[in-house]
Structure 1
Amino acid sequence: MKDAAVVCRELRCGEPVDLRYWAEFGPGSGPIWIYDLYCRGSESTLNNCSSRGGHICAHVIDAGVICSGEKPRLTAGRHQCSGRVEVFHGGSWSTVCDADFDQQDAEVVCRELGCGIPVEVLGSAAFGRGEEARLVNGSDSCSGRVELQYLREWGTVCAVGWDMRAADVLCAQLNCGSAVAVVEVDWFGEGSDHIWADVFDCQGKETRLSQCGISSWSRAACSHKHDAGVICNGSSMAFHEGRVRLSGGSECQGEVEIYFRQDWRRVLLDSWSLSEASVLCRQLGCGSVLNYRSSPSTTGHKHMCVTGFSCSGSEAHLGNCSSAQPVNCSSGEQLYITCSGKQHNTYQ
């Protein structure tokens, strides 16, 4: 489907609806140019994807795709036959102004979507304001600088109004899982278009940003040096996120380090309890916790540490506990832990 998404985008035919194999649209003729195609789904043309050629392949297995075309869609509703009306136009999805949209227009939309007849036509952005969203300049489509399209204009999002809950919703909207990090501008560079100063009041359970409460939609005084970036767990960049290790001791004893927001960081002692210690030893496959204390080498290991873990004690992984936050290492003592011993390692 990622390959098909690029085909439909290049042809300006909307989004992929279904794939077809074994030359269901009839066999082609002449050379077979592409074999083993690999697209991330965000490319603008197939030429931007990697592939192999020259493989012996028969036309009886020519690939096919069905694109959505210009059929409208309903989003942010409770089911597939209710929601905000969007149409694919000019290479992207756009909303429809309610000023000239009436019952007859709604009848056409419902008929085209196979949704019967319209029960009610709602205006005033009843299903939330429309937006397109993307992550750019990352290693794949699930990491990068946050950009939103509003009224056909793309713009970056000011990090001042951006948090992990909004990032979780964006990752879900992009089919990229959940967020593992909100990063600063030096990760994915500065944008060049508009800067949207939205403050997203998300609870984290929404499936689209348009379902969150939004305030301050404007071109506010926020420079591109504060552009927000996000890494979702569907990205290859998130592979090590949440891993833990012990240093300066033995395999099951030492100073605690966790890979947090794309870097190894020490953990501060201040918010640590027996519950978190139990989870850590379990994650390392090191049995139960014997003791934890201040690290004997509290000198600055890195410029940032981590604090704020809150576990019940039954979790298998620190990543299942409530989110921690980065802090300066000089703000507290760093953690040293001793676990009972090495067991079968499943979670590290």
Structure 2
Amino acid sequence: MQLDSMMRCHIVIGSSVAFHEGRVRLSGGSECQGEVEIYFRQDWRRVLLDSWGLSEASVLCRQLGCGSVLNYRSSPSTTEHKDMCVTGFSCSGSEAHLGNCSSAQPVNCSSGEQLYITCSGHTEARLVNGSDSCSGRVELQYLSEWGTVCAVGWDMRAADVLCAQLDCGSAVAMVEVDWFGEGSGHIWADVFDCQGNETHLSQCGISSWSRAACSHKHDAGVICNGSSMAFHEGRVRLSGGSECQGEVEIYFRQDLRRVLLDSWSLSEASVLCRQLGCGSVLNYRSSPSTTEHKHMCVTGFSCSGSEAHLGNCSSAQPVNCSSGEQLYITCSGKQHNTYQ
């Protein structure tokens, strides 16, 4: 054991091997989830599950800068990684690096199950500068550092997962920086590849890691349906006609605003009629009324046509009502109350 320790010190101090020795990486998952590989005796080797515990898992997630441990288990892959794996790590749990734990031993990979680990990726998440804890600018904490999230790598599925993680229900809307202001400090440019049914962001794959060029002018914001802001936000009604026909008004940024015709199409019209419970679209056109609705209207909705709610489409922008014609729509028929 003493000779082993001396050899290890000799490698750390005097050899080019030291650049890699003891480094770890995860494969077959995301940046903070996957099959564990460690650079051991001049090669990348898988780690066996047999002697692994919470202490070793905690050190590994810390070493990777991936927060805390969510779980560790046997790898779903049965493929052997070369001929040799590693076993025998023993950590107290407080170490910063697996190299500070008692030394491991090489063994044949067929002698046990290989290790798969899921780290949290980040230790905390929050929404700030909103009316409550379920609305605001998205911020994540990696170890001790809080930072904002770049909207370039953010979508409604990731927003849904974040809302679920915060016990705030699902996402009503993704919003621009002028809603909740610019953050400060680090900007996390992670691109979360979520399906939308996960309960924690760490369960989503990460397809990019701090690679997107971003500034605080692109900080992501989210409104969850658990927020008081969600009671009205994104709701629609028709005025100046009948229950399923009229000038379109949407509750946007805490006020009812008319919608401009300029970027409207059959897809958005279908979603609107569906949201109102008014069947299908018969037609949409410019409003016969020339009266401005306050000073601001809304434009820029973009829907696929399958959404249940305009809030699930890409977010719109406020504009002056005089900049375009206002929208009048006729849906096929009323199915329930028009104020949704």
Please classify the TM superposition score into its range, dividing by the shorter chain length.
0.5 to 0.7
The residue that corresponds to 1:10 in the other structure is: none
Between 1 and 2, higher relative CO (CA 8 Å, sep ≥ 6) is seen in: 2
In structure 1, which of residues 180, 185, 191 is the aligned counterpart of residue 183 of structure 2?
191
CA distance in 1 between partners of 2:148 and 2:246 (Å): 42
Q: Secondary structure at the match of 1:257?
A: strand
TM-score (norm 1): 0.54
Displacement of 1:238: 0.5
Q: What TM-score do you get using the length of structure 2 for normalisation?
A: 0.55
The answer to whether residue 294 in structure 2 is matched with residue 304 in structure 1 is no
- Could you list the per-position Cα deviations for residues 87-141 of structure 1 after superposition, in whole angstroms to 9, with x for gaps in the alignment? 9xxxxx95269999947879xxxxxxxxxxxx96735x54563442111122111
**Taking structure 1 as reference, are residues 139 and 297 closer, same or farther at Cα in structure 2, changes over 3 Å only?**
same
* Matched position secondary structure for 1:135: strand
Which of 313, 316, 319 is matched with 1:323 structurally?
313
Contact 1:103 1:121 (8 Å CA) reproduced: no
Partners of 1:303 and 1:275 lie apart in 2 by: 20
Quote the residue 2:161 is aligned against. 169
C-alpha separation between the residues in 1 aligned to 2:57 and 2:114?
A: 10
Q: Tell me which of 201, 221, 231 is aligned to 2:223.
A: 231
The answer to whether the 8 Å contact 1:309/1:321 transfers is no
1:274–1:148 Cα change, 3 Å: closer
* One-letter identity of the residue aligned with 2:266: S
Alignment-derived partner of residue 95 in structure 1 = 68
Q: Give the corresponding residue for 1:266.
A: 259
Give the counterpart of 2:133 among 117, 129, 141: 141
Q: How far 1:188 sits from its partner (Å)?
A: 1.7
1:331 positional shift? 10
d(CA) in 2 for partners of 1:266, 1:134? 32
- Quote the Cα distance in structure 1 between the aligned partners of 2:147 and 2:89: 31
Distance 1:220 1:291 in 2: 41
Pair 85,261 (structure 1): closer, same or farther in 2 beyond 3 Å:
farther
Write the distance in 1 (CA, Å) between the matches of 2:162 and 2:125: 8
Query: Matched residue of 1:230: which SS?
Result: strand
Q: 2:237 aligns with which of 233, 237, 245?
A: 245
The 3-state SS of whatever aligns with 2:115 is coil
Distance 2:142 2:182 in 1: 19
Aligned to 1:55: none
* CA deviation profile, 1:241-295 (whole Å, cap 9, x unmatched): 3421123445553211223565535164422588557535535xxx987654333
In 1, the alpha carbon distance for the partners of 2:92 and 2:209 equals 29
Match for residue 204 of structure 1 among 196, 203, 206 = 196
Q: Is 2:238–2:338's contact at 8 Å kept on the other side of the alignment?
A: no
Cα offset, 1:178, TM superposition: 0.8
**What's the offset of the Cα at 1:190?**
2.1
Give 3-state SS (helix, strand or coil) of 2:250's partner: strand
CA RMSD in angstroms comes to 4.7
Give the C-alpha shift of residue 142 in structure 1: 0.7
Larger radius of gyration: 2
Q: Could you give the per-residue CA deviations for residues 51-89 of structure 1, whole angstroms, max 9, x where no partner exists?
A: xxxxxxxxxxxxxxxxxxxxxxxx999xxxx999669xx
CA shift digits 1:133-156 (9 cap, x unpaired): 111122111111111111221111
2:216 maps to a residue whose letter is H
Alpha-carbon distance in structure 1 between the residues aligned to 2:182 and 2:176: 10
Evaluate the alpha carbon distance shift between residue 256 and residue 306 of structure 1 in structure 2; reply closer, same or farther with a 3 A threshold.
farther
